[in-house]
Amino acid sequence: MEITAQSIADFLHGTVVGDANARVSSAARIEQGRPGTICFFANPKYEHYVYDNKASIILVNNTFEPKQPVSATMIKVENAYEAVASLLEYISSLKKSTKRGNRWLVCRPLSSSIGKGTNIGRQVIIGKHVKIGKYCRIYPQVYLGDNVKVGSNVIIYPGVRIYHDCVIGDNCILQANCVIGADGFGFAPREDGSYKKIPQTGNVVLEDDVEVGANTTVDRATMGSTIVHKGVKLDNLCQVAHNVEIGDNTVMAALSGLAGSAKIGKQCIIGGQSGIVGHITVADHTTIAARTGVIGNVRKEGEILLGYPAIDHKEYMKAYAIFKSNAKK
């Protein structure tokens, strides 16, 4: 699959500077450009790569004026950093096969329905009364339990498990081997020191435009629903416990965990390897730095938190300066 500079420029509403017929088949980082690839340049500290680059096409901002000759064809756009996301999606869509799966290798009862244009891969197991929307792409070896509902334009990669009664909204992406709706970690201690399992009777609801990373787990609620609201992005290897609620457009980096019944606000940023205890509320627009432990409610919107236990980043940096000063004595 090859696409021309002019086709890319038309898609991104950009302007070609150079050979409009230059062709590329993949994208590469600006440091690793080679013939047949397209790179993007937005950060000034990488400008020297523009002049040494072997890529066929480089995506740049409209404001960029080269100080040296550039051998690659340039495509100028309003914002190269934002445009690259659309470009990668465009390239990916051209590469992906539209071939339909072998339906005779799919286990599906008659009570379930599959929408128009949906492609099902081999060895997919679909439970009873499952509803799958239009134009979904379900890769091989996916399991959909009884009564699962999947919206339209959903991509489910190989090995995903969606347990019974869970709901997946429109335009969601579930990366390989993520698990939606496994039992929450609920056990009642007994007098003899053993534990009795508490039945997890709820479900998981992923609203529209949610992406769940590879090997991430979102547990079903004990009662009611674990809810991941619209636009949330969960990285690989994250844990979302039972009855958690995550607000619109919050992002959560890898190896982070949310304990049971935590309520996370809208447009929060949760850094990698962070942990948030259960039964607390985190205000909208909170930023939680990597490896931070939040052990109490965050009531003020827009705070930036660091450390364990989490404190305001300015207070943390003051404390760090004291620690560093004392360490030198």
Please list the residues that pair with 74 across neighbouring strands.
17, 58
Catalytic residue among 48, 129, 164, 242: 242
Distance of alpha carbon 204 from alpha carbon 164, whole angstroms: 9
Q: What is the DSSP letter of 161?
A: E
The b-or-e profile of 292-320 (16+ CB within 10 A means b, else e) is: bebeeebeeeebbbbbeebeebeebeeee
Query: Do 171 and 156 contact (CB within 8 A), yes or no?
Result: no
How many CB atoms sit inside 10 A of residue 40's CB?
25
Query: Do 269 and 283 contact (CB within 8 A), yes or no?
Result: no
Active site residue 242: yes
Pairing mode, strands 173-174 and 155-156: parallel
* Cα four-point dihedral sign 29, 35, 38, 43: positive
What phi-psi label fits residue 133: left (phi over 0), alpha (psi between -120 and 50 degrees) or beta?
beta
Distance of alpha carbon 5 from alpha carbon 25, whole angstroms: 11
Distance of alpha carbon 21 from alpha carbon 7, whole angstroms: 9
List, by residue number, the catalytic residues: 242
